[in-house]
Amino acid sequence: MRITGHLRKMITTLGAPVQYHLPLDNERVAMNTLIGRHIQLAYRGEIHCVACGRKTNKSFNQGYCYPCFKSLAQCDSCIIKPELCHYNEGSCREPEWGEQHCLQDHIVYLANSSAIKVGITRGSQIPTRWIDQGASAALPIFRVKNRLLSGRIEVIMKQHISDRTDWRKMLRGTPNHIDLADKRDELFETCKKEIDEVIAESGTEAVTYLESEKTVNVEFPVSAYPAKVSSFNFDKTPEIEGVLNGIKGQYLILDSGVLNIRKFGGYRVQLQVDG
Within 13 A of 54's CA, how many CA atoms are on the CB side? 11
Q: What is the pLDDT of residue 274?
A: 84
Is the same domain home to 204 and 232?
no
Most distant CA pair in the chain, distance: 62
Q: What is the pLDDT of residue 275?
A: 66
User: Is the peptide bond prior to 140 cis by the omega test (within 30 degrees of 0)?
Assistant: no
Q: Does the residue 253 lie in any domain?
A: yes
Is the same domain home to 262 and 196?
no
Closest-CA residue to 150 (of 184, 202, 108):
108
Percent of the chain with pLDDT over 70: 100
Is the same domain home to 213 and 225?
no
Query: Domain total for the chain?
Result: 2
Is the same domain home to 187 and 144?
yes
Domain that holds residue 45: 2-57+221-273
- Burial (CB < 10 A; 0-12, 13-18, 19+), residue 36, is exposed
Which of 191, 217, 243 delimits the end of a domain? Answer: 217
Listed in sequence order, the residues at least 6 apart from 53 whose beta carbon sits closer than 8 Å to its beta carbon are: none
Q: Does the residue 236 lie in any domain?
A: yes
In terms of DSSP H, where are the helices of the chain?
66-71, 95-101, 128-132, 147-157, 167-170, 180-202
Determine contact, residues 258/252, Cβ cutoff 8 Å. yes
Section 95-117 average pLDDT: 96
In terms of DSSP H, where are the helices of 1-74?
66-71
Is the same domain home to 138 and 240?
no
Is the same domain home to 249 and 232?
yes
Rounded to two decimals, the pTM is: 0.95
φ and ψ of 107, to 5 deg: -115, 130
Q: pLDDT tens, 40-67?
A: 999 999 999 999 999 999 999 999 999 9
Q: Does the residue 91 lie in any domain?
A: no
Q: Does the residue 70 lie in any domain?
A: no
